[in-house]
């Protein structure tokens, strides 16, 4: 993307709270990553089948910390260039999460604002949502309420639908006017960016193909996170603030090492939420 394209994307993001579609990679590269995802997903199929969507984070969150190919996706230069235009040159990745919906599995995401439960100060972050398969109205693409990032934080409640992909079923507890909601339709290899305060969610997959995408959450190095032992990965520039413990990019393809890292990372990030199997 050229300089003007990046600046246009950054301006749209700042005025309406999201921007899409942006192209991260071509068909061959996208297919190669989709195969990586499918092979990983086959290796954890038993867990995904025997656990509700709300518990899938145990295998689908923070994979950039333990799977080298996900780290590669997270440092895609096209994505990082636009994020840099928005957040500046020193970038950390503090969270990632695959959001997969199989045809007819009912998985959805309730209306929520990410900022509400991230504990970031200041509230500076940007999520890139990268599609490996078509993310359409039928497959259950993300939906956002335009300009809602200008609103103050809305009250949320925890809900307990097993098909809500959010670990605690976080949901805005006042009425959301979804009449003007925008569908973030993406082709494979495209991504959207959304602001931490934008109201967003998604409906179930009513199509015959899986929807596979990953949310990659970036912050500038000066941000603090008010949680015990904050953990992040430096993905561009320098971190002169040391507000986070920095985890190095994963390099091992040894399955035992991957399993050990997964448990450590997920326990560290989600420790007080659930026991990590
Ligand atoms: O993938 C989805 O449907 C929702 C994603 C989401 O809530 C997020 O990235 O914050």
The closest alpha carbon to 61, from 191, 144, 168, belongs to: 168
237's tokens: 């520039």
- Closest ligand 1 atom, CA of 202? 3
| Residue 277: predicted pLDDT | 45
* Count of domains observed in the chain: 1
What phi and psi values does residue 66 have, to the nearest 5 degrees?
Answer: -135, -10
**Positive or negative torsion for Cα 16, 166, 60, 203:** negative
275 falls within a domain: no
Tokens 């086959």, residue located: 42
213 falls within a domain: yes
In this structure, the residue with its CA closest to atom 6 of ligand 1 is 201
* Structural domain harbouring 20: 3-270
In this structure, the residue with its CA closest to atom 10 of ligand 1 is 114
Give yes or no for residue 114 CB within 6 A of ligand 1.
yes
223 CA from centroid of ligand 1 (Å): 22
| Residue 58: predicted pLDDT | 92
| Residue 228: predicted pLDDT | 87
Q: Specify the pairing of strand 245-246 against strand 231-236.
A: parallel
- Closest ligand 1 atom, CA of 114? 10
Q: Specify the pairing of strand 182-183 against strand 120-121.
A: unpaired
Encode 195-228: b = buried (16+ Cβ within 10 Å), e = exposed: bbbbbbbbbbbebeebbbbbbbbbbbbbbebebe
12 falls within a domain: yes
Give yes or no for residue 83 CB within 6 A of ligand 1.
no
277 falls within a domain: no
Residue 178 CA to chain centroid, in angstroms?
22
What distance in Å separates the CA atoms of residue 266 and residue 272, rounded to the nearest whole number? 10
What distance in Å separates the CA atoms of residue 96 and residue 209, rounded to the nearest whole number? 23
| Residue 129: predicted pLDDT | 98
Print pLDDT tens along the chain (277 aa).
899 999 999 999 999 999 999 999 999 999 999 999 999 999 999 999 999 998 899 999 999 999 999 999 999 999 999 999 999 999 999 999 999 999 999 999 999 999 998 999 999 999 999 999 999 999 999 999 999 999 888 889 988 888 999 888 889 989 999 999 999 999 999 999 999 999 999 999 999 999 999 999 999 999 999 998 899 999 999 999 999 999 999 999 999 999 999 999 998 888 755 544 4
Give yes or no for residue 20 CB within 6 A of ligand 1.
no
**Per-residue DSSP letter, 244:** S
What distance in Å separates the CA atoms of residue 217 and residue 74, rounded to the nearest whole number? 9
186 falls within a domain: yes
Cis bond before residue 114 (omega within 30° of 0): no
Give yes or no for residue 99 CB within 6 A of ligand 1.
yes
Pocket test for ligand 1, best of 100, 202, 212, 216 (most atoms within 8 A of CB): 202
| Residue 270: predicted pLDDT | 86
The CATH number assigned to the domain holding 9 equals 2.60.120.620
What distance in Å separates the CA atoms of residue 67 and residue 3, rounded to the nearest whole number? 31
In this structure, the residue with its CA closest to atom 2 of ligand 1 is 142
199 falls within a domain: yes
Distances (CA, A) of 13 to 99, 115, 201, 245, 251: 22, 16, 18, 29, 33
């Amino acid at each position: 993307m050229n300089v003007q394209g990046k600046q246009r994307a950054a301006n749209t993001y700042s005025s309406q709270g999201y921007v899409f579609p942006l192209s991260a990679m071509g068909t061959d590269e996208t297919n190669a990553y989709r195969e990586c995802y499918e092979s990983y997903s086959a290796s954890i199929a038993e867990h995904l089948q025997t656990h509700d969507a709300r518990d899938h984070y145990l295998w689908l969150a923070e994979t950039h910390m333990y799977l080298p190919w996900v780290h590669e996706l997270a440092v895609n230069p096209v994505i990082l260039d636009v994020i840099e235009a928005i957040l500046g040159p020193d970038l950390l990745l503090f969270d990632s999460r695959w959001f997969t919906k199989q045809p007819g599995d009912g998985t959805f995401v309730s209306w929520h604002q990410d900022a509400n439960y991230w504990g970031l100060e200041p509230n500076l972050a940007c999520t890139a949502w990268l599609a490996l398969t078509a993310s359409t109205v039928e497959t259950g693409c993300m939906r956002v309420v335009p300009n809602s990032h200008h609103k103050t934080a809305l009250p949320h409640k925890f809900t307990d639908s097993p098909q809500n992909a959010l670990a605690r079923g976080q949901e805005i507890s006042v009425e959301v006017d979804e009449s003007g909601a925008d569908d973030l339709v993406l082709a494979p290899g495209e991504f959207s960016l959304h602001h931490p305060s934008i109201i967003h969610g998604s409906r179930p997959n009513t199509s015959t193909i899986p929807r596979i995408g990953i949310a990659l959450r970036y912050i500038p190095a000066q941000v603090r996170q008010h949680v015990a032992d904050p953990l992040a990965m430096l993905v561009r520039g320098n971190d002169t603030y040391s507000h986070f413990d920095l985890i190095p990019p994963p390099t091992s393809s040894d399955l035992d090492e991957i399993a050990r890292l997964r448990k450590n990372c997920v326990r560290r990030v989600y420790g007080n939420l659930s026991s990590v199997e």
